[in-house]
């Protein structure tokens, strides 16, 4: 193995691909330093996942944000402080208490961004640096197929004992793959169920009196006020307090300590297939916090309405 110049040797995994090939989907991720295990698991599945560098000392959050933007990656973090920064790029929050349920985190993350896994991509990327593993034709023992990371030079080969780390890694990766695909299947079934309910609801939809809606809304503990009511002075004709959507509302709502000063529909992101009596929209809303004590603040954030 000394013939493999400049490479660390590890009895690990057997790559299934030559050259760079990624899981289907445009999403690329940047995990903060507290999510190193999640980054490794993503790489096992063939997903492009980078890891924050130098997390051991004082964190340079601005450098982390700049890297995410420069490399066009979605930041994955377990820090609410990071997510709340005004200059935070697109991010995905992993609740620290849920980190033990890593399979659930993986399923939610990948399905949220439409990343489609392929079984032949399992163990095709280096768990150490995230670059593609390539077949190496020379420099190893006879009858042993070697694979080398194109980034860090780490060398991999498949264990023949049936008990090596490569076998464990492959079993773990296949388990994760099945968990993610099962989560995708359940999510798809739920969407189809909601579409059926929505179509049935639309089929029986009749004109609705807004005053009657206000009365029904008063029956529920959720007494928040619709941003549309505050800004436009009236409630739209239909809301999700109708039919099978009782107790849910598809607007932005604010509590009694805040007031909406502006609301503007920017973009409709889905059409009539959305399981609601409204299309889902993305809106930019400026919420001004009313003074409590000596301090108050104003912040504008872009919020998807799900």
Per-residue pLDDT tens over the stretch 249-294 = 454 444 445 555 554 444 444 444 444 444 444 445 555 544 433 3
Predicted structure pTM score: 0.52
pLDDT at 153: 64
Nearest CA among 207, 217, 219 for reference residue 251: 217
pLDDT at position 218 over 50: no
Does residue 239 come out as left (phi exceeding 0), alpha (psi in the -120 to 50 range) or beta? beta
Q: What is the pLDDT of residues 128-144, one digit of tens each?
A: 776 666 666 555 555 66
Strand partners, 281: 268
Residues 6+ apart with CB under 8 A from 132: 15, 17, 19, 20, 21, 124, 125, 126, 149, 150, 151
For residues 52 and 48, what is the distance between their CA atoms, to the nearest angstrom?
14
Q: Could you tell me the two tokens for 188? A: 């798809």
Euclidean distance between CA atoms 156 and 165, whole angstroms: 10
User: Which helix (H) or strand (E) element contains residue 261?
Assistant: strand 258-268
The confidence band for 161, taking pLDDT boundaries of 50, 70 and 90, is low
- Distance of CA 275 to CAs 200, 223, 237, Å? 10, 23, 17
């Amino acid at each position: 193995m000394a013939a493999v110049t400049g490479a660390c040797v590890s009895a690990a995994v057997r790559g299934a691909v030559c050259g760079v090939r990624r899981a289907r989907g445009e999403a690329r991720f940047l995990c903060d330093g507290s999510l190193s295990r999640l980054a490794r698991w993503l790489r096992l599945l063939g997903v492009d996942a980078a890891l924050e560098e130098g997390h051991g000392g004082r964190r340079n959050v601005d450098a982390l944000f700049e890297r995410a933007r420069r490399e066009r990656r979605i930041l994955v973090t377990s820090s609410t402080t990071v997510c709340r920064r005004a200059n935070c790029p697109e991010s995905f929050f992993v609740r620290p208490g849920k980190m033990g349920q890593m399979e659930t985190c993986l399923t939610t993350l990948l399905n949220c961004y439409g990343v489609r896994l392929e079984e032949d991509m399992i163990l095709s990327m280096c768990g150490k640096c995230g670059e593609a593993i390539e077949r190496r034709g020379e420099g190893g023992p006879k009858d042993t197929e070697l694979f080398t990371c194109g980034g860090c030079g780490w060398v991999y080969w498949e264990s023949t004992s049936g008990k090596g780390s490569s076998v464990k890694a492959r079993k773990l990766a296949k388990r994760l793959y099945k968990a993610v695909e099962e989560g995708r299947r359940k999510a798809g079934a739920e969407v189809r169920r909601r579409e059926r309910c929505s179509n049935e609801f639309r089929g029986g939809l009749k004109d609705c009196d807004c005053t009657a809606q206000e009365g029904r809304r008063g029956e529920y503990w959720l007494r928040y006020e619709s941003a549309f009511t505050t800004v436009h002075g009236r409630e739209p004709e239909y809301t999700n307090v109708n039919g099978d959507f009782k107790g849910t509302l598809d607007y932005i709502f604010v509590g009694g300590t805040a007031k909406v000063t502006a609301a503007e529909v920017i973009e409709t992101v889905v059409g009539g297939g959305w399981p609601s009596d409204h299309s889902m929209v993305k809106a930019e809303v400026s919420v001004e916090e009313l003074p409590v004590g000596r301090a108050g603040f104003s912040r504008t954030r872009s919020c998807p309405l799900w």
